Amino acid sequence: MTIRFILNGEDMEINAEANQRLIGILRDRLGLTASKSGCLNGSCGACSVIFNGAVSPSCLIPAFRLQGSEVITLEGFSQTIEYQDIAAGFASAGVESCGYCDAGKILATELLLGYNLQPGRDEFAAAFRGIRCRCTNGENLYQGVLSAGEMRQRRIYGRSL
């Protein structure tokens, strides 16, 4: 079937089997490899993308659901100033980055900071429920999210809130 959608801000048209997974389309056909192929059952978050405004596992998105949708991958998001806030915040908190879970933890952080620049632990836990990181413990990651929020506050307001 022919599928038209928006990928990282650009119109995209592809031919794909209706049930082909988005993770395969991104990695094998479009060369976008920031989303990793992990569990393939929706439980690790390594394949995350922003799909119609929500962080979603691309291994659970069949091609037919892409029709008319908007997808942002880590490749697209990494071109934004908002990404710089998160990269700087994670670096300052010493958050590890082997690359495997980057799509999940960075995109989840972005959506969380969109709601609250100083999220509490419960909000953090809810936002990261589907993200598994083998290298960074939860507390370190939470501190990285807070640091990223601080970076954004300084960039937008010139100071902490």
24 contacts ligand FES (rule: CB under 6 A)? no
Output 11 or 139, the one with its CB closest to ligand FES.
Answer: 139
Among 134, 138, 155, 157, binds ligand FES (CB under 6 A): 134
45 contacts ligand FES (rule: CB under 6 A)? yes
Q: Please enumerate in sequence order all residues whose Cβ is within 8 A of that of 63, keeping only pairs 6 or more positions apart, or say none.
A: 1, 3, 14, 16, 17, 18, 19, 20, 21, 22, 25
- Tokens read off for 78: 């990494």
12 contacts ligand FES (rule: CB under 6 A)? no
HEC-encoded secondary structure of 85-153? HHHHHHHHHCCCCCCCCHHHHHHHHHHHHHHCCCCCHHHHHHHCCCCCCCCCCHHHHHHHHHHHHHHHH
- Tokens read off for 72: 């942002």
Q: Which stretch binds ligand FES (CB under 6 A): 26-34, 86-94, 119-127, 131-139?
A: 131-139
- Tokens read off for 118: 């100083």
From residue 55 to residue 94, the character string flagging contacts with ligand FES as x (rule: CB under 6 A) and all else as - is --x-x-----------------------------------
Output 135 or 161, the one with its CB closest to ligand FES.
Answer: 135
Q: Give the footprint of ligand FES on this chain (CB under 6 A).
A: 37-40, 42-47, 57, 59, 96-98, 100-101, 133-136
